[in-house]
Chains A and B, each alone.
Chain A
Amino acid sequence: DGGITQSPKYLFRKEGQNVTLSCEQNLNHDAMYWYRQDPGQGLRLIYYSQIVNDFQKGDIAEGYSVSREKKESFPLTVTSAQKNPTAFYLCASSIRGRVAYNEQFFGPGTRLTVL
Chain B
Amino acid sequence: LAKTTQPISMDSYEGQEVNITCSHNNIATNDYITWYQQFPSQGPRFIIQGYKTKVTNEVASLFIPADRKSSTLSLPRVSLSDTAVYYCLVGEISNFGNEKLTFGTGTRLTIIP
Contact = CB atoms under 8 A, between A and B. Distances in A.
Contacts, number: 62
Nearest to A90: B43
Interface residues of B, number: 25
B31 interface: yes
Interface in A27-49: 35, 41-45, 48
Contact of A100 (B46, B101, B103): B101
A14 interface: no
A42 to B, nearest CB: 4
B49 A88 contact: no
Main DSSP-derived SS at the B contact region: loop
Contact of A108 (B43, B46, B90): B43
Interface string B85-103: 0010011110000111101
Given A42-B104, A100-B32, A108 B91 contact: no
Nearest to B33: A100
15 contacts: A42-B104, A48-B99, A56-B98, A56-B99, A99-B91, A103-B34, A103-B49, A104-B36, A104-B44, A104-B46, A107-B43, A108-B42, A108-B43, A109-B42, A111-B41
